[in-house]
């Protein structure tokens, strides 16, 4: 099975406590912690900060773990969701494929993101 199959499209996406909950078309469920999603934001600015050479003089400010929340979820076509964060950041578009790949459950971890 490939990520572009209907089984890997979410049937439902919701905020559950401090996690983004996704119910997938194949029956699997993923619970993704806010802090991990925000830290892995796929936008070019965040990727640039993560991929930049380490500079001991660079000051990076980020919300403390447990402080970030989701304000809203905005559908992006039939392939992604844009997350609006409580720190005002809203340029990350999270593809369903990328969300499925980061599922932290033991089954997905063992299978490299596929369950």
Tell me what the mean pLDDT of segment 90-94 comes to.
96
pLDDT bracket for residue 115 (50, 70, 90):
very low
3-state helix, strand, coil in the chain (%, to 5): 25, 30, 45
Residue 113 is predicted with a pLDDT of 54
**What's the CATH number for 6-50+66-106?**
3.30.2020.30
Q: Cβ(64)–Cβ(112) under 8 Å? A: no
Strand partners, 13: 22
Q: What's this model's pTM, rounded to 2 decimal places?
A: 0.84
pLDDT at 107 over 90: no
The answer to which of 9-13, 18-22, 104-108 has the lowest mean pLDDT is 104-108
Which tokens is 17 given?
């406590």
The rounded distance, in Å, linking the Cα atoms of 57 and 76 is 37
Cα separation of 110 and 115, whole Å?
Answer: 9
34-60 pLDDT per residue, tens = 999 999 999 998 988 888 887 777 666
Domain spans of the chain?
6-50+66-106
């Amino acid at each position: 099975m490939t990520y572009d199959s209907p089984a890997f499209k979410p049937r439902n996406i919701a905020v559950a406590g401090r996690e983004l909950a996704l119910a997938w078309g194949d029956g699997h469920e993923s619970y993704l912690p806010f802090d991990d999603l925000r830290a892995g934001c796929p936008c070019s600015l965040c990727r640039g900060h993560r991929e930049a050479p380490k500079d001991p003089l660079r000051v990076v400010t980020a919300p403390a773990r447990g402080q970030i929340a989701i304000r809203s979820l905005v559908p992006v076509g039939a392939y992604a969701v844009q997350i609006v964060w409580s720190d005002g950041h809203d340029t990350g578009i999270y593809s369903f494929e990328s969300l499925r790949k980061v599922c932290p459950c033991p089954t997905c971890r063992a299978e490299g993101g596929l369950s």
